[in-house]
């Protein structure tokens, strides 16, 4: 069975690594919220530049494929096996959400797009509530309470 795109990488990541990624995201949101709107805007800009795990895998695979191809053309034809192996791993990742670099990249803190987007949404919610407070709550009859579920 092929897992859904959003859940396939966390599904194949050790639970303690997923929890560490969640914890770091929670801490980042809390730090930015405590420092105010400018810190939230700065963090949102950082998130715009953050590489997700897919981009890191693509860059890693492309580098190894190019190196293997060059070595195959210049040094020894047996190096052409490297791009073939990398291609097989990329296919495995596309289908299952796992390939050998995934555990390493996850331990280094690379997140999925969905994980990055969750942090962004939480920061934007806090920023939106801050704006309503500064405006005296105009346009909103709702109480200004932010509830962030654990890991959410």
Q: How many domains does the chain have?
A: 2
Task: Please report where in the chains the tokens 């942090």 appear, as a residue.
Answer: 119
What's the domain range around 24? 9-50+112-136
With respect to residue 3, please indicate whether it lies within any of the assigned structural domains.
no
Select from 109, 99, 146 the least CA-distant residue to 19.
Answer: 109
Q: How far apart are the first and last CA of the chain?
A: 26
d(C-alpha 50, C-alpha 63), whole Å: 19
- The pLDDT, as a whole number, for residue 144 is 44
- The pLDDT, as a whole number, for residue 133 is 56
- The pLDDT, as a whole number, for residue 60 is 96
SS3 65: helix
Same domain, 58 and 101: yes
CA distances from 15 to 94, 127, 148 (A): 21, 30, 21
With respect to residue 149, please indicate whether it lies within any of the assigned structural domains.
no
- The pLDDT, as a whole number, for residue 140 is 46
Q: Which residues of the chain fall short of a pLDDT of 70?
A: 1, 130-152
Same domain, 76 and 37: no
- The pLDDT, as a whole number, for residue 147 is 52
Could you read off the pLDDT of 7-17 as tens digits, one per residue?
A: 889 988 999 99
Same domain, 56 and 106: yes
Predicted TM-score (pTM) of the model is: 0.79
The token pair at 82 is: 């490297």
């Amino acid at each position: 069975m092929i897992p859904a795109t959003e859940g396939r990488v966390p599904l194949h990541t050790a639970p303690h690594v997923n929890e560490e990624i969640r914890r770091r995201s929670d801490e980042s949101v809390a730090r930015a919220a405590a420092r105010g709107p400018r810190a939230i805007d700065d963090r949102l800009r950082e998130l715009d530049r953050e590489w997700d795990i897919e981009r890191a895998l693509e860059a890693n695979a492309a580098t190894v494929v190019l190196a293997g191809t060059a070595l195959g053309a210049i040094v020894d034809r047996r190096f052409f096996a490297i791009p073939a192996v990398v291609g097989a791993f990329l296919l495995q990742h596309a289908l299952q959400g796992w390939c050998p670099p995934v555990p390493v990249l996850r331990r280094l803190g690379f997140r999925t797009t969905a994980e990055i987007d969750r942090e962004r949404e939480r920061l934007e919610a806090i920023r939106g509530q801050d704006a309503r407070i500064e405006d005296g709550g105009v346009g909103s009859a709702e109480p200004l309470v932010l509830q962030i579920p654990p890991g959410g």
